[in-house]
Amino acid sequence: MSVWPAWEVRENEGAVTTAWFDVRLEFGDGARVDALAVVSQGRVRLEDVRAQPALSLDDLAVLADWIEDPLAEVSGAGPEPEPEAAGSRRARPAWPRGVEGRRLVAQEYRTAQERGVDPVLAVMCATGHSRRKSLRLIAQARDAGYLTPRHARR
């Protein structure tokens, strides 16, 4: 892994408030990940990621964990977790898997329909997943029988 400074923003007193870093991960099989990371107020955020071959969502979620410690060493400021999030490193809330998760997805979907709002957006907000993943969860809830079929079968 290679980390080098890209640019930084300083306050009037000369203290660095925000710093951007270029990060490169190269793997033995030829895969490569280039990222632009921001360190601000002790937190690491990814602004741009390019990977060859493309990363899965699970790999992308782990990417921040891979680069967090090297960035802290280079920037000189270790990340300070918030008190309520000290035990959790997940960016999105935990969502139950399996039957319980499907049942909750169906419940969110039906509640949104009753309120007249977009049910897919409601599932996205509840789970913290992307639109594609939320649609997949809704389809799984349909297949499990928690929601009515989308189209009438002929």
Going residue by residue through the chain, which has 154 residues, state the pLDDT in tens, using 9 for 90 and above. 788 888 888 777 777 678 888 988 887 788 888 998 888 777 778 888 898 888 887 777 777 777 877 777 776 655 444 444 444 445 555 778 888 889 999 999 999 999 998 999 888 888 888 888 889 999 999 999 999 887 766 6
Give the pLDDT confidence score for residue 98 in this predicted structure: 85
Could you tell me if residue 14 is left (phi over 0), alpha (psi between -120 and 50 degrees) or otherwise beta?
Answer: left
Residue 137 contacts residue 101 (beta carbons within 8 Å): yes
Give the pLDDT confidence score for residue 137 in this predicted structure: 92
Give the pLDDT confidence score for residue 129 in this predicted structure: 81
Tokens matching residue 9? 């923003």
Residues 6 or more apart in contact with residue 39 via CB below 8 angstroms: 18, 19, 20, 21, 71, 72, 75, 77
Give the pLDDT confidence score for residue 103 in this predicted structure: 92
Task: Report the greatest alpha carbon distance in the chain.
Answer: 72
Return the bridge partners of 44, or none: 39
Give the pLDDT confidence score for residue 85 in this predicted structure: 45
Give the pLDDT confidence score for residue 146 in this predicted structure: 92
Give the pLDDT confidence score for residue 93 in this predicted structure: 59
Smallest CA-to-CA distance from 38 within 64, 57, 13, 1 is with: 64
